[in-house]
Structure 1
Amino acid sequence: MVDEPDDREPDLQEMLRRMLSGGTPPDTAALAKAMGLPGGASALEQLMAQLRQSMSQPDGRIDWGIATEQAAAAAGAGALSATDRQVDEVRQAFTVAQLWLDESTSFETLPESPTAMTRTEWVRATMPFWVQLAEPVAIRIAESLSTIFTDRIPPEIAGELAARMPDAGRMLRQVCGTIFAAQLGAVVGGLASEVVSGGDVGVPLLPDGRAALLPQNLDAFAEGLDIDLQQVALHLAVRELAHARLFRNARWLRLQLTSTIRDFAEDLGVDVDQVERFAEGFDPTDTERLKEAFSSGELIPPKTPTQEAALARLETTLALVEGWVDVVTADATKRLPKADAIAETVRRRRATGGPGEQAFASLVGLELRPRRLREAASMWRTVTDAVGAEARDALWSHPDLLPTAADVDDPAALVARLTGGEPPKDDVDRELEDLLRGEEPPPPV
């Protein structure tokens, strides 16, 4: 039986030769569409030009500027700028929100005035944080893929490749890294059309002390709620300021969150067998398949015990942050007739996450949704009612004072510690004390 000819080899050879000669891969429009790049073939040509420039750099690092430009292009595609009316409404909402928030938290105001942001401005302001989350994953996947692809190149092509470019491994790593960066850009660009504020996904995306609302997305958030837009804007402005004030006053909190995320990323290992299974029969010119692998999380291995522990710490911290913001916002917006309805909409959005947030979780393997938001909010409400806002906020002054997951489970014990009292005993506690004293427990009723 005669083996079928391998019709993938000429495609691979042609791709490598064109790249080495400074050209672009064939059918740029189709490849651009497959990679989800706004701007079609011209965008891909620009991307390949950036790739050739990055390959000339000796350090071999991923050029994350590609992600920023792709995200900005996606965020601005087909989106009109905020109108003067929308910007004025945001500014007025922030003015009132500052005053209301002063009544419900002891945390000081921000050093910078809160602003209205366009989607593109949000992309450029938050991209450094997204890169910090994505870079460890991109590096590990790119290194694994490039190693396997280099090993699979036919000898005749490998010889030509080595002659023209001795450091072909670095080139292939940067090809993979560039595609990953473009995918991150597409995800963040999608998020830019979903978020309504700087703190909308729970983590401190904006630089310290900054707060912002996105007027274009604010209108989309209010659609279908049957609530006056001014009420919605004011409620979301209070939430955004509460989130920004918390991170501004609890200076250690930002570092703890990023350290937990770094612990998660540093323990990321790439399953070589998993990558090899993906590489079997894979044509490196098939950009659609590579895009699908990145966006679906196919190359992200199962979480290790260390990662699970880091993720549990992250989820607890995010739940504490969001729960505190919920309680403070509820107290500050009690004058709004529809405050409860708006708050419930926000909680549902945070519990499920939008398409952009889900895409980021698949790309990086890290979810940013607090799973115990309602329990944490209930704990903060119990603490507020028991000791007041000032004593509650003082718990954020040091990481050792911050409530734990056990405190979320048992707020009464936390209140007892804060007030110097004892938590109320339940039936199990009373029966255990009776047994220790040698008394018979009462018969069941």
Structure 2
Amino acid sequence: MQATATLVDWEAAGAAAAALVPPGPAMTRAEIEDLVAELRSCASLAVDPVAETSGLEAGEDGGAVLVVDRAGWARANAASFGALMDPVLSAALQRQKAGRSGGRGTPEGPAALAAVTRAVNAAETGSLLAFMASKVLGQYDVLAPDGGRLLLVAPNVAHVETEIGAVPSDFRLWVCLHEETHRVQFGANPWLAGWFRGQVVELLDDMLEDPASSLKRLVDGLGRLPDLLRAPAPGADAPAGSASGGLIDLVQTPEQKERLDALSAVMSLLEGHADVVMDEVGPSVVPTVAQIRARFGARRGGTGPVDRAVRRLLGLDAKVAQYRDGARFVRAVTAQVGTPGFNAVWSGPGTLPSAAELRDPAAWVARVHG
């Protein structure tokens, strides 16, 4: 038995999520086929406007574009998480065994107990994936084992466009503009995917270095749950690049939090840049873009008290802040040095903004452009 088999069965996690997540809005077969066909068409239509607006081109290097249902999204992400995390989890488990045995290693526990542990972890992971699968409109899956790919979640697009009263053809293209920008970010800058995966792996490995200490920090931090669940005051502004990560905040050391803040600054850049591009393409391509932005922005914080609480626990409030903070940075830098000057950000790891620079775009311009 492999060491990681006692931790998570990723295939079972994907299957559990597929079983748990509701299928989406009721649609006839013809409506589903039309939706899928239009999303594929919109993904193609988004390529030229994004390239023209961003000054970046991905070509084939950005990976495939796939239209999926909620179950398909969950299974795809379970496979990606497994490819990323199995080596990290395996190394952490081996360190733990070596520590217990003075470096000599210990035999695997009883097979029945290992199977139960694996099944419980798969069910818990599947529950989380099921929740996320009902929320995500699209995703550039940079962690996919065979290279990046763009996923468009058809039932979620249909649900949201109906909920906000959007013109379907406009909304579908608008979503594709955002996701195509992510495909371009990584396709036009091949170093970025490897760097991003490396940063995530290093952070996970560090957090799993001492599981006992992480558990103690979690227990000690449970008293902060009321604060974590408490919604911010209307209009409250969290510092850029340092939005709450939800439950993960409870198990991090100060050093780990600093590293996560640095990674969050880059994620803010990616999300904010995609938001700016999708909006700046403008009404010549998406006639109702202003209406869509206003209505969609109003729903990003969650649709009800339970939904908002879960989002805060999972750190999804941080995701919302990333769009806002990153867009602010992109617009400020572009106003100073234009799109070509902004695109210097993609030159390599050394030109990515820090959390402090995300809050102070002029500091990034001074450092990179002199």
Give the equivalent residue in structure 2 for 1:227: 166
Give how far 1:186 is off: 2.4
Question: What CA distance in whole angstroms lies between the structure 2 residues aligned with 1:102 and 1:403?
Answer: 22
Larger Rg: 1
Question: What displacement does 1:132 show?
Answer: 5.5
In the alignment, which residue of structure 2 is the partner of 1:292?
none
- Any stretches of 5+ residues in structure 2 without a counterpart? 97-106, 221-245
Matches within 5 A, 1:354-369: 369=319
Aligned mate of 1:184, from 120, 125, 133: 125
Q: Give the match for residue 403 of structure 1.
A: 353
Cα contact 1:60–1:174 (8 A) shared by 2: no
Residue of structure 2 in register with 1:122 after alignment: 73
Structure 1: give runs of 5+ residues left out of the alignment. Answer: 1-56, 145-165, 278-296, 421-445
Alpha-carbon shift at residue 380 of structure 1 (Å):
0.8
| CA shift digits 1:282-306 (9 cap, x unpaired) | xxxxxxxxxxxxxxx9999632123
- Look up the equivalent residue of 2:165 and give its one-letter code: D
- Cα deviation digits, residues 291-346 of structure 1 (max 9, x gap): xxxxxx99996321232122212221111111111112222234334323433555
**Aligned with 2:212: secondary structure?**
coil
Listed as ranges, the matches of 1:4-403 within 5 Å are: 57=1, 59=3, 61=5, 62=7, 63-75=9-21, 83-111=32-60, 112=63, 114-131=65-82, 168-169=109-110, 171-199=112-140, 204=142, 206=144, 208-266=147-205, 267-268=207-208, 269-271=211-213, 302-335=251-284, 336-344=286-294, 347=297, 369=319, 371-403=321-353
Pick closer, same or farther for the CA change 1:134–1:392 going to 2, 3 Å: same
Aligned equivalent of 1:290: none
Give the C-alpha shift of residue 347 in structure 1.
5.0
Amino acid at match of 2:132: L
Q: Aligned with 2:327: secondary structure?
A: helix
TM-fit CA distance, 1:222: 1.1
CA pair 168-395 structure 1, distance change in 2 beyond 3 A: closer
**Any conservation in 2 of the 1:274–1:299 contact (CA below 8 Å)?**
no
In structure 2, how many angstroms separate the alpha carbons of the residues matched to 1:255 and 1:375?
A: 24
| Number of residue pairs matched by the alignment | 322
AA aligned to 2:139 is G
Q: Which amino acid aligns with 2:259?
A: A
Higher relative contact order (CA 8 A, sep 6+): 2
Q: What are the Cα deviations for residues 218-255 of structure 1, in whole angstroms up to 9, with x where unaligned?
A: 11111232221111111001001001111222223223
- Which stretch shows the higher mean deviation, 388-397 or 179-188? 388-397
1:78 Cα offset (Å): 7.4
Change (3 A) 1:357 1:109: farther
Q: What is the alpha-carbon root mean square deviation over aligned residues?
A: 4.2
**Percent identical residues:** 26
* Structure 1 residues 123 and 73: alpha-carbon distance in aligned structure 2, compared to 1, 3 A threshold: same
Aligned counterparts of 2:23 and 2:179: Cα–Cα separation in 1: 26
